[in-house]
Structure 1
């Protein structure tokens, strides 16, 4: 028990092995958006978002830090600046292209994975020239080649598909999602990228939002109360993503594509919540409606009528869709253990190559 309860502190105690400034370029959705949505739309989140660590809304849908924030801390580098931040941005350690609500398809709808990669390619082509012209807070050619490219996307593709399609139809769409991820990695690789860190998608059927919104019966729930059809679809997506990563590892010369089993990490925390010090694995800390899920689509976190728990550290879900800082800390600790990566390498492994 002592070991489990100390897990959230581990990302802060990992010592970086980097011999030079680590560079990370991140692509994804709300699981790793550090402010791109807010910068791009000119909006502001409201309290209680950000209350735990930043003590104010910080462009993240959480009470505090995200997994990507903890991973950056493990490399002793600053949090990633959103690409769309135009107010004094600092891109010396990379950039974050992730945007809340993003998916792989449709391709040209902002901010799909295709659009995010297109933004990166423009950033890639202009940065070295701008540096030669005297601009600071950017990265040079060698930095792009040695950078780590992290991808965490797919949850919204599955979630949106279930809104209008049955299970079989959703499964039939998965190859098209995987193809977009393949194109993204390939396009970055063609511009010199060779270090890729690819997260699979989490247990969609365990999100309080889905549990509160989908009609269900007992036969559709697993032993931990999660929706089987949604989780089975996530597993199908992940199986195909793993095959893609294995194929690209053999096809892309001098490249390393690491597949990270985020699904197992998140599901383990939900299934064994009490072992990690959590008390409410399927209930949102911030929302409306009370037990069992505290989620109401009309009164979400921050809207008039919401309620918020006193101890976010006891909750896994922050708002029914996104995770608390306490949960994100556990996820990052598990990632840093290298027990959930294929090939089995630590996140800090890339420091020796940066």
Structure 2
């Protein structure tokens, strides 16, 4: 694979300090902020933004190197050069990285399980691996896990673990993205949002009825800033904002997020004994893209691992890892890894902002569930 250098950290001491600071937020500050008194248990439901290897385990899909090069030094099924936001959140509470539910080889589930799968949506409901299917998998996991614990197993989650666990929801991006990819109009896409949010509502309510009381809900990021989407838009379009993102796509994402925020408010009223934290991922990511230099990044809309060179280095027919793709040097300050997903450096910064509580409603520390 060819190599290009977006930005050289080694030749820029100021940039090195900025990037280092982002990591310090994760590795130094967060252990102070996040000290679980009880063993943390987490269950995550979502798409590729938080899939820690479920697609590879479930369908045998080959997520090839250089995915995983930065932290794991090998591909782990994550669509990034290293850790995801979910991984950093787990590390902040000093628990192991979540194993995919479908990965039976060498996995233990004492700290929970990850049901997120690449490409997942909320609708249609009964196709792999919709949110509805992920929740059904969770119910099966819960039944078997409690049975095994009752039989003496120490490698699963018991009743107390499920009762006190954090249930994380991070889905919706693909519902919007796939609708635009099918050439639906902006109005048609927006009309789908209530149905998508209703599926999230149904899932949270179903988990609540099975004993879940602590929920952590991420909204969706700025869809119109993804290099994949930008590469497919007419260059003479007037549908670009000041940062170079597709305005209509971002507006649809914001309408989805507004509906999701209202849902969380409604559920707090209905489920008074539950804690539901809504996290504004959109604001975090859009800030990083719009103020990339401030955070030590450059060319924020340029894919690190892709094909075609500037301005986006993305070709939908030649994804990251395929022959001919170009990959930037490690530590080169890229925000986007493969045109859709973020680099480990960006994920580290996103996680540090989540942990600051500045983007959460209500403002609750991530470790609230294990106190």
User: Which range, TM-score by smaller chain?
Assistant: over 0.9
Instruction: Specify the alignment match of 2:328 in structure 1.
Output: 309
Out of 39-48 and 72-81, give the one that drifted further.
Answer: 39-48
Asked if 2 retains the 8 angstrom alpha-carbon contact of 1:313 and 1:325, the reply is: no
Which digits, 9 at most, give the CA deviation of each residue in 1:66-115, with x for residues without a partner?
00000000000000010001112210000000000000000001000000
RMSD across aligned positions (CA): 1.3
Alpha-carbon spacing, 1:142–1:207, altered in 2? closer, same or farther (3 Å): same
Which digits, 9 at most, give the CA deviation of each residue in 1:187-228, with x for residues without a partner?
000011000000000000000000001235352000000000
Instruction: Specify the alignment match of 1:320 in structure 2.
Output: 339
Asked if 1 retains the 8 angstrom alpha-carbon contact of 2:357 and 2:365, the reply is: yes
Instruction: Specify the alignment match of 1:113 in structure 2.
Output: 131
Q: How far apart, CA to CA, are the structure 2 residues paired with 1:50 and 1:312?
A: 14
Out of 15-24 and 189-198, give the one that drifted further.
Answer: 15-24
Out of 304-313 and 54-63, give the one that drifted further.
Answer: 304-313
Asked if 1 retains the 8 angstrom alpha-carbon contact of 2:22 and 2:352, the reply is: yes
Q: Aligned-pair distance for 1:143?
A: 0.6
Q: Which runs of 5+ in 1 are unaligned?
A: none
Would you identify which runs of 4 or more consecutive aligned residues in structure 1 move more than 3 Å?
1-5
Asked if 2 retains the 8 angstrom alpha-carbon contact of 1:72 and 1:79, the reply is: yes
Which digits, 9 at most, give the CA deviation of each residue in 1:164-190, with x for residues without a partner?
210000000000000000001000000
Instruction: Specify the alignment match of 2:357 in structure 1.
Output: 338
Instruction: Specify the alignment match of 1:103 in structure 2.
Output: 121
Instruction: Specify the alignment match of 2:27 in structure 1.
Output: 12
Q: How far apart, CA to CA, are the structure 2 residues paired with 1:337 and 1:109?
A: 36
Which digits, 9 at most, give the CA deviation of each residue in 1:315-343, with x for residues without a partner?
00000001100000000000000000001
Q: Aligned-pair distance for 1:4?
A: 7.1
Q: Aligned-pair distance for 1:142?
A: 0.9
> Among 197, 204, 218, which residue is 2:223 paired with?
204
Q: How far apart, CA to CA, are the structure 2 residues paired with 1:5 and 1:136?
A: 39
The answer to whether the aligner puts 1:263 opposite 2:263 as a matched pair is no
- Kindly report which structure 2 residues correspond to 1:136-155, keeping only aligned pairs within 5 A, or say none: 136-155=154-173
Asked if 2 retains the 8 angstrom alpha-carbon contact of 1:195 and 1:256, the reply is: yes
Alpha-carbon spacing, 1:206–1:285, altered in 2? closer, same or farther (3 Å): same
TM-score, normalised via structure 2 length: 0.93
Q: Aligned-pair distance for 1:348?
A: 1.9
Instruction: Specify the alignment match of 1:289 in structure 2.
Output: 308
Q: Aligned residue pairs: how many?
A: 352
Out of 195-204 and 343-352, give the one that drifted further.
Answer: 343-352
TM-score, normalised via structure 1 length: 0.97
Q: Secondary structure at the match of 2:300?
A: strand
Alpha-carbon spacing, 1:247–1:125, altered in 2? closer, same or farther (3 Å): same
Instruction: Specify the alignment match of 1:253 in structure 2.
Output: 272
- Kindly report which structure 2 residues correspond to 1:78-93, keeping only aligned pairs within 5 A, or say none: 78-93=96-111
Q: How far apart, CA to CA, are the structure 1 residues paired with 2:19 and 2:313?
A: 26
Q: Aligned-pair distance for 1:134?
A: 2.8
Asked if 1 retains the 8 angstrom alpha-carbon contact of 2:308 and 2:315, the reply is: yes
Q: How far apart, CA to CA, are the structure 2 residues paired with 1:210 and 1:275?
A: 24
Q: Secondary structure at the match of 2:335?
A: strand
Q: Secondary structure at the match of 1:296?
A: coil
The answer to whether the aligner puts 1:42 opposite 2:60 as a matched pair is yes
Asked if 1 retains the 8 angstrom alpha-carbon contact of 2:43 and 2:113, the reply is: yes
Asked if 2 retains the 8 angstrom alpha-carbon contact of 1:32 and 1:66, the reply is: yes
Instruction: Specify the alignment match of 1:244 in structure 2.
Output: 263
Q: Aligned-pair distance for 1:292?
A: 0.4
